[in-house]
């Protein structure tokens, strides 16, 4: 972007008085603009784009909002008193949109700027959407998905003709996910229409802030400005430990043992957030708190992504208005910090990552210059080590980077259809346009053409599908929509968030509580009681794809499990854990956490060894289940699983065998009903990096990993349609499962690029090829400590109980089946 192309700036004194008005606004609130806010406003005025990064809650919103507001105050007013769309505000969570809208609208009104600020998300009423189709407000708060939808209606370019700036809020949340790519693509389109567009990202501090800006700005990155919020808040990370006399159980879960200590702190606080890592944990802790303190019934609540939106909004409002003293929540409340400060933050379970822990801690002491404090509650003993590692890393500023998504062809396929339905496109121009994004900067023309074929004639150039139509080339050479049915369906499936098939839960009276996964629902029988949305519910029946329930008085019932969202430990934190263990191996137990976990590490040392730096621990043992081999690379679950699959594949090449692989953040387990040969581990040959790529590809394809990844890809690329809400039946004929499609593609069109993408994604996102290769080199060079333990050690036990497994086999299916028994489970997989 060249700065000479920006609109002329009105006379300086007009701007000076606008700035004075804004400064007055700050003074009236007892604040003073920070330097970084001033810098952002000046940069905006100069026509620049960039990224503002700062810890949570120190005024990034105002840094981005007052730039365009001051321009208006200073007299830059094309379109008069009610201008067409000038500012587009992209937020990752539609739950945040309403709060953001209020904050922006209030600030504008305070400064007598007569702008309308509206939301447009999946929650927006259709009447409002219809009105917006004719005319957009001066400022629009929306999500990447809804922005893409806006582009899918004809006349999009005209609607954005007055657009001056785009703000992408919580960019760190979007970057590194395919949703970020949706935003990148939409921005490339807007940049083309409005070459002088100012694009500003707001981000928490990342390990790779420069890269984050480059991804956001795409082709305009060279001229971007990085604005750094220079108000460091101090951060205190503490653990809630069991009293000294009480020992940690060496294996399994601590469960709710620490509840009394947690309750004490909640009682002493005005307001508290208790973060858990899973929705099930949220339900468990909520129930436990209610049982211990029934008098808090009206003053505590729970919040997670499967609850009904209305219920979640009520909780958010309760927190904001101070009616609630505590909310048990998942990542669903990670964002939106500007609106709901609390004075106590508790993290239940592993912190998983340093940035994430800092973000959550930032919810407390939510004023510039104040201390953020977070209390960590371990759910099993080894998590104490993670807390100690996180504290050391946070103090040293070792925050994780977010890696951008590169070349996701499924997202491109979806986007090309989106744009075709809107104003249409000419292939040459479109190719250049998408290459203006960071994600597709290195897109090959052949890949682009393939995707274009894929969405127009159905792909496979040698055998085009005559009956297939989605978008088509018009006589004028542009691609556009052909079929209203297809268009309507596509608009329903815009987005990249893939969730497990879920069905709504309703009271017989009709009140909606939220959704649970079908796999859980399918196991319920009438009369069964389960816990959901903080209530005990009796299952009545499933009808009209709804699970009908009524309240139950029964004391006990299972809690639904939701798959997905299992965060792996970040690389940095995993390395931190290795480091802490190394200290422990040398007898250094400096932090309270390590002192608390010492008896368990002593047990580990007695039965096996504590791996020090430069050592690789390999444990073997036998049980009723078969022969177990545990390897501990400490690389986070995804990489451990990758190394596990690779190791298993290489083992199966030496002799016919079948191995089940399980992994956690510390290591992986190989389990077989036959003895596992140990000699390949003695000389590290199994970890060598020769033929690494081909071996990994083979292991990905032999295991279920590629198939798993294909699930997401097939949904985004429009192969699997999740159905119209409430109209499921009409689309039943084209309902199918991703795993069936995977089989059909693998057999009839093995060259399909989406299949290849599944493999590539497993390699890059899941297996993190580069990291895996580096890990293997480290492991091959490490001193291997092979121990026959005779029993499960404290390090091995948590992996062993993991039920999610992938399998690799070099035996014929027939041979395996002969050793198997019928299982009684039921599950639909049509």
Partner 1 sequence: MSIDGGSRRTPATVRVRGERLVLLPDRALYRPSAKMLVVADPHFGKGQLFRERGIPVPKGTTADDLHRLSCLIDRLRPDALLFLGDLFHGRVDTPGPLVRRIDRWRGRHAALRILLATGNHDRGTGGLAAAFRLDGTAEAHADGPFSFTHQPAPDPPGYNIAGHLHPAVVLKGKGRLRETLACFRIGPRSALLPAFGVFTGTQIIPPRRGDRIFVIAGDEVLAVPPVNK
459 part of the interface to partner 1, by CB under 8 A: yes
The Cα–Cα gap between 207 and 331 comes to 20
Select from 23, 196, 447, 673 the one that contacts partner 1 (CB under 8 A). 673
677 part of the interface to partner 1, by CB under 8 A: no
What's the closest the beta carbon of residue 426 comes to partner 1, in angstroms?
22
The Cα–Cα gap between 438 and 217 comes to 8
If we measure between CA atoms, which residue out of 312, 332, 353, 181 comes closest to residue 712?
181
What's the closest the beta carbon of residue 9 comes to partner 1, in angstroms?
49
| Closer CB to partner 1, 389 or 660, in the complex | 660
HSE (CB half, 13 Å, CA atoms) of 10? 15
* CA angle (315 as vertex; 314, 321 as ends), nearest 5: 90
Per-residue x/- marks for partner 1, 631-670, CB under 8 A? ---------------------------xxx----------
489 part of the interface to partner 1, by CB under 8 A: yes
Give the interface segment with partner 1, choosing from 265-273, 481-489, 613-621, 694-702 (CB under 8 A).
481-489
Give the interface segment with partner 1, choosing from 99-107, 274-282, 366-374, 485-493 (CB under 8 A).
485-493
Select from 387, 741, 782, 796 the one that contacts partner 1 (CB under 8 A). 741
If we measure between CA atoms, which residue out of 433, 519, 527 comes closest to residue 737?
519
Give the interface segment with partner 1, choosing from 142-150, 159-167, 337-345, 624-632 (CB under 8 A).
624-632
Select from 25, 599, 805, 810 the one that contacts partner 1 (CB under 8 A). 805
The Cα–Cα gap between 703 and 709 comes to 12
Tokens for 19? 């700035």
Residues 649, 658: contact at Cβ < 8 Å?
A: no
Give the interface segment with partner 1, choosing from 128-136, 212-220, 452-460, 644-652 (CB under 8 A).
452-460
Select from 442, 625, 691, 788 the one that contacts partner 1 (CB under 8 A). 625
| Closer CB to partner 1, 410 or 593, in the complex | 410
What's the closest the beta carbon of residue 326 comes to partner 1, in angstroms?
40
What's the closest the beta carbon of residue 91 comes to partner 1, in angstroms?
31
553 part of the interface to partner 1, by CB under 8 A: no
Distances (CA, A) of 188 to 165, 175, 182: 13, 15, 10
Q: Centre a 10 Å sphere on the Cβ of residue 532 and count the other Cβ atoms it contains.
A: 23
Gyration radius from the chain CA atoms: 28
Binding to partner 1 (CB under 8 A): which residues in 29-88? Answer: none
Buried b / exposed e along 83-103 (16+ C-beta atoms within 10 A): bbbbbbbbbbbbbbbbbbbeb
The Cα–Cα gap between 240 and 707 comes to 41
Region for residue 365 given its phi and psi (left: phi exceeds 0; alpha: psi -120 to 50; beta: otherwise): left
| Closer CB to partner 1, 148 or 379, in the complex | 148
| H/E run at residue 621 | strand 615-623
Q: Centre a 10 Å sphere on the Cβ of residue 494 and count the other Cβ atoms it contains.
A: 23
| H/E run at residue 74 | none
Give the interface segment with partner 1, choosing from 333-341, 373-381, 468-476, 577-585 (CB under 8 A).
468-476
247 part of the interface to partner 1, by CB under 8 A: no
Q: 820: Cβ–Cβ under 8 A, 6 or more apart, which residues?
A: none
What's the closest the beta carbon of residue 626 comes to partner 1, in angstroms?
4
Give the interface segment with partner 1, choosing from 146-154, 183-191, 622-630, 777-785 (CB under 8 A).
622-630
If we measure between CA atoms, which residue out of 438, 444, 432 comes closest to residue 208?
438
724 part of the interface to partner 1, by CB under 8 A: no
If we measure between CA atoms, which residue out of 192, 237, 187 comes closest to residue 217?
187
| Closer CB to partner 1, 89 or 479, in the complex | 479
What's the closest the beta carbon of residue 669 comes to partner 1, in angstroms?
10
Q: What are phi and psi of 630, to 5 degrees?
A: -115, 130
| H/E run at residue 194 | none
Residues 220, 49: contact at Cβ < 8 Å?
A: yes
- Residue 425: strand pairing partners: 479
Select from 454, 607, 649, 681 the one that contacts partner 1 (CB under 8 A). 454
The Cα–Cα gap between 608 and 796 comes to 10
Give the interface segment with partner 1, choosing from 29-37, 396-404, 637-645, 729-737 (CB under 8 A).
729-737
Select from 752, 759, 773, 810 the one that contacts partner 1 (CB under 8 A). 752
323 part of the interface to partner 1, by CB under 8 A: no
817 part of the interface to partner 1, by CB under 8 A: yes
473 part of the interface to partner 1, by CB under 8 A: no
Buried b / exposed e along 776-813 (16+ C-beta atoms within 10 A): bebbbebebbeeebeebbbbbbbbbeeeebbebbbbee
468 part of the interface to partner 1, by CB under 8 A: yes
DSSP-assigned states of every residue in 450-478: HHHHHHHT-S-GGG--TT--SEEE-TTS-
Tokens for 810? 């070099």
733 part of the interface to partner 1, by CB under 8 A: yes
Binding to partner 1 (CB under 8 A): which residues in 117-136? Answer: none
525 part of the interface to partner 1, by CB under 8 A: no
Select from 5, 81, 222, 828 the one that contacts partner 1 (CB under 8 A). 828
810 part of the interface to partner 1, by CB under 8 A: no
Select from 499, 689, 736, 764 the one that contacts partner 1 (CB under 8 A). 736
Select from 543, 606, 727, 830 the one that contacts partner 1 (CB under 8 A). 830
Three-class secondary structure of residue 161 per DSSP? coil
Select from 270, 511, 588, 748 the one that contacts partner 1 (CB under 8 A). 748
829 part of the interface to partner 1, by CB under 8 A: yes
| Closer CB to partner 1, 112 or 813, in the complex | 813
Length of the chain in terms of residues written: 830
Residues 128, 118: contact at Cβ < 8 Å?
A: yes
What's the closest the beta carbon of residue 471 comes to partner 1, in angstroms?
9
- How many residues form the binding site for partner 1 (CB under 8 A)? 62
Select from 600, 645, 671, 799 the one that contacts partner 1 (CB under 8 A). 671
What's the closest the beta carbon of residue 450 comes to partner 1, in angstroms?
12
- Residue 364: strand pairing partners: 342
821 part of the interface to partner 1, by CB under 8 A: yes
Region for residue 408 given its phi and psi (left: phi exceeds 0; alpha: psi -120 to 50; beta: otherwise): beta
734 part of the interface to partner 1, by CB under 8 A: yes
| Closer CB to partner 1, 343 or 447, in the complex | 447
What's the closest the beta carbon of residue 501 comes to partner 1, in angstroms?
13
Distances (CA, A) of 732 to 22, 542, 725, 727: 56, 18, 13, 9
Binding site for partner 1 (CB under 8 A): 454-455, 458-460, 463, 465-470, 483, 485-486, 489-490, 625-627, 658-660, 671-674, 718-719, 721, 733-734, 736-737, 740-741, 744-745, 747-749, 752, 805, 807, 812-814, 816-830
């Amino acid at each position: 972007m060249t700065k000479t192309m920006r609109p002329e700036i009105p006379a300086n004194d007009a701007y000076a008085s606008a700035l004075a008005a804004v400064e007055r606004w700050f003074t009236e609130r007892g604040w003073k603009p920070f330097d970084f806010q001033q810098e952002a406003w000046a940069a905006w005025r100069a026509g620049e784009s960039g990224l503002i990064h700062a810890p949570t809650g120190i005024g990034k919103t105002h840094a981005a909002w007052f730039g365009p507001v001051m321009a208006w105050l200073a007299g830059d007013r094309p379109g008069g008193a009610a201008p067409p769309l000038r500012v587009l505000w992209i937020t990752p969570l539609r739950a945040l949109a309403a709060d953001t809208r209020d904050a922006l609208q209030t600030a504008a009104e305070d400064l007598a700027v007569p702008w309308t600020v509206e939301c447009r998300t999946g929650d927006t009423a259709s009447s409002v959407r219809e009105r917006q189709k004719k005319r957009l407000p001066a400022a629009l708060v929306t999500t990447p998905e809804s922005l893409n939808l806006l582009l899918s209606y004809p006349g999009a370019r005209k609607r954005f003709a007055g657009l001056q700036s785009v703000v992408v809020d919580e960019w760190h949340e979007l970057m590194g996910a395919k949703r970020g790519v949706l935003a990148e693509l939409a921005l490339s389109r807007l940049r083309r229409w409005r070459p002088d567009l100012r694009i500003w990202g707001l981000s928490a501090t990342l390990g790779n802030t420069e890269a984050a800006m480059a991804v956001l700005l795409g082709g305009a990155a060279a001229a971007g400005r990085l604005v750094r919020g220079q108000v460091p808040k101090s951060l205190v990370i503490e653990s809630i430990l069991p009293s000294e006399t009480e020992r940690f159980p060496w294996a399994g879960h601590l469960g709710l043992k620490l509840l009394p200590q947690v309750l004490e702190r909640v009682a002493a606080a005005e307001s508290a957030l208790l973060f858990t890592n899973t929705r099930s944990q949220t339900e468990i802790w909520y129930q436990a708190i209610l049982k211990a303190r029934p008098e808090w019934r009206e003053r505590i609540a729970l919040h997670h992504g499967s609850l009904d939106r209305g219920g979640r909004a009520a909780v958010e409002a309760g927190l904001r208005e101070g009616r609630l003293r505590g909310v048990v929540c998942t990542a669903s409340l990670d964002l939106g910090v500007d609106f709901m400060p609390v004075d106590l933050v508790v993290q239940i379970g592993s912190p998983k990552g340093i940035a994430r822990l800092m973000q959550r801690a930032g919810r407390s002491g939510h004023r510039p210059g104040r201390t953020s404090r977070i209390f960590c509650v371990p759910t099993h003993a080894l998590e104490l080590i993670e807390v100690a590692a996180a504290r050391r890393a946070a103090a040293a500023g070792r925050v994780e980077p977010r890696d951008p998504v590169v070349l996701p062809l499924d997202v491109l396929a979806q986007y090309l259809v989106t744009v075709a339905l809107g104003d249409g496109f000419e292939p040459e121009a479109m190719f250049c346009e998408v290459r203006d994004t960071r994600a597709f900067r290195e897109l090959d023309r052949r890949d682009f053409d393939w995707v274009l074929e894929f969405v127009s004639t159905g792909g496979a150039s040698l055998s085009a599908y005559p009956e297939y139509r989605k978008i088509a080339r018009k006589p004028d050479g542009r691609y556009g929509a052909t079929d209203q049915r297809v268009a309507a369906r596509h608009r329903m499936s815009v987005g990249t968030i893939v969730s497990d098939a879920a069905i709504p839960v309703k009271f017989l009276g009709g009140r909606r509580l939220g959704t649970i996964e079908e796999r859980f629902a399918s196991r319920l029988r009438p009369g069964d009681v389960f816990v959901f949305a903080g209530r005990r519910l009796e299952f009545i029946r499933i009808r009209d794809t709804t699970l009908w329930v009524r309240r139950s008085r029964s004391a006990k019932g299972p809690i639904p499990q939701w798959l997905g969202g299992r965060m792996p430990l970040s690389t940095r934190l995993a390395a931190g854990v290795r480091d802490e263990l190394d200290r422990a191996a040398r007898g250094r137990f400096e932090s309270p956490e390590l002192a608390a976990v010492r008896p368990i590490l002593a047990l580990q040392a007695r039965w096996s060894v504590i791996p020090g730096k430069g050592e690789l621990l390999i444990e073997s043992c036998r049980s009723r289940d078969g022969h177990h081999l545990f390897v501990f690379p400490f690389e986070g679950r995804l990489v451990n699983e990758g190394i596990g699959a690779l190791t298993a594949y290489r083992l199966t090449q030496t002799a016919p065998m079948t191995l089940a692989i399980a992994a956690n953040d510390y290591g992986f387990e190989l389990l077989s009903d036959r003895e596992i040969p140990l000699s390949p581990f003695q000389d590290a040959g199994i970890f060598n990096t020769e033929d690494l790529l081909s071996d990994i590809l083979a292991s990905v394809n032999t295991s279920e990993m590629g198939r798993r990844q294909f699930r997401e890809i097939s949904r985004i690329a429009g192969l699997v349609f999740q159905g119209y809400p409430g109209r499921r039946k009409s689309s039943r004929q084209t309902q199918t499962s991703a795993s069936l499609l995977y089989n059909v593609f693998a057999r009839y069109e093995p060259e399909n690029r989406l299949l290849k993408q599944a493999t590539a994604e497993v390699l890059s996102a899941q297996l993190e090829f580069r990291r895996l290769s580096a890990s293997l080199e480290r492991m091959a060079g490490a001193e291997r400590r092979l121990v026959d333990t005779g029993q499960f050690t404290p390090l091995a036990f948590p992996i062993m109980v993991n039920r999610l497994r992938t399998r690799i086999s070099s035996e014929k299916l027939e041979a395996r089946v002969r050793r198997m028994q019928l299982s009684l489970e039921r599950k639909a997989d049509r």
